[in-house]
Structure 1
């Protein structure tokens, strides 16, 4: 069912608002990573400066997305809040570790939400993606369980990379590795989606 409050927006515009800030963060980091800026007597590395620019950028893109579409997903809202909180802490304390922790908390939070829903016999993933992927109840439960564990894996990967590797490695992982991992995950679920497609059940419904 279509949300009466939602607005029609070109797909390219929605994609640009969702992925644009991350692309600009990567470009800004590559350009400024070796620079040092002295502000009010305190030295800030390029990563911190780019983070300071990224926070208002993600807030502006989220606000514009809401204005254009009339709605925001829970993940978009949580991401904007955590970017603001942990990005702000990184800038305020001049410590990039807080911003690097942010993806871990996002993934663990959504994993916890999915596991809680499964415990209650519900798929919260279906509430977000049911229009895009018509699956049976069993299909959604299986996919949600896999997605929850996938988020746990992403959280562990993020922790391992930022704690043991360079900032360059973490930025590349965040910019390219995570989208590729997400794409690969859904490709790997093709068999599940085919086996549990609700569209195939429609002719036999009473």
Structure 2
């Protein structure tokens, strides 16, 4: 197994968010277009999705090459992008790709929930190095994040089933990202309350 390597944070962020930004820009340019490929008409959304899949694979591969490590979350996200994006392109049906965030958040929320049932915080195993907390803090944060992920899954289902594709793309690109950022910003009190004090000599 490769050792983790440090890379420029801006480069790391670019590799993680770059494909999403490219998807958004490409969708804005091609959303009104229809492409005849192999005798079948494909909407711009499907064509952009087809381009997003290899771009996501490439960016994740570069990230792995540079860092020597991928988190379980990154691997799971890539797999779901390939599976649900591939189904959308293969069946020429955008609903599968729109369901992807639902599956991602249900997967993460379900995994954390299973840990809670077993009396464990799986979140601690993933983020302990970044946020050293007391056990009580990890359990509380995990409960909140589990509920948050389930809520995002439900919200994504409501948005894509009741709103236009334009609305869903804006929601996926900006709404979900802002929601995750806002969640962790609002946990400052918990992080301070349960933070482990550094041992002093």
Give CA deviations for 1:50-94 in whole Å, capped at 9, x if unaligned.
000000000011111000000001110001001000100000000
Runs of 4+ with deviation above 2 angstroms: none
Give secondary structure in 2 for the equivalent of 1:75. helix
* Residue among 13, 16, 20 paired with 2:14: 16
Aligned with 2:119 (options 113, 118, 121): 121
Aligned to 2:70: 72
**How does the TM-score come out when normalised to structure 2?**
0.97
Q: Pairwise mapping of residues 24-103 of structure 1 onto structure 2 (< 5 A)?
A: 24-103=22-101
* Structure 1: distance between partners of 2:2 and 2:73: 21
How many residues end up aligned between the 2 structures?
Answer: 200
Q: Classify 1:4/1:58 alpha carbon distance in 2 versus 1 (closer, same or farther; 3 Å).
A: closer
Are the structure 2 counterparts of residues 4 and 87 from structure 1 closer, same or farther at C-alpha, using a change threshold of 3 Å? closer
Give unpaired runs (5+ residues) of structure 1: none
**TM-superposition CA deviations, 1:1-20 (whole Å, max 9, x none):** xx970112111111000000
Structure 1, 119-128 or 15-24: larger mean CA deviation:
119-128
Contact 2:2 2:69 in 1 (8 A): no
Contact kept, 8 Å, 2:2 with 2:68, in 1: the verdict is: no
Report the CA distance between 1:119 and its aligned residue: 1.2
Provide the secondary structure at the position in 2 that maps to 1:38: strand
**For residue 162 of structure 2, what is the aligned residue in structure 1?**
164
| Secondary structure of 2:197's aligned partner | helix
Deviation at 1:199, TM superposition (A): 2.0
Which consecutive unaligned segments of at least 5 residues does structure 2 have? none
Contact 2:50 2:89 in 1 (8 A): yes
CA–CA distance in 1 between the matches of 2:115 and 2:134? 16
Contact 2:33/2:44 (<8 A) preserved: yes
Secondary structure of 1:198's match? coil
Partner of 1:141: 139
Take 1:197 and 1:7, find their aligned partners in 2: how far apart are those partners? 26
Residue 133 of structure 1: how far off its partner (Å): 1.1
CA RMSD of aligned residues (A): 1.2
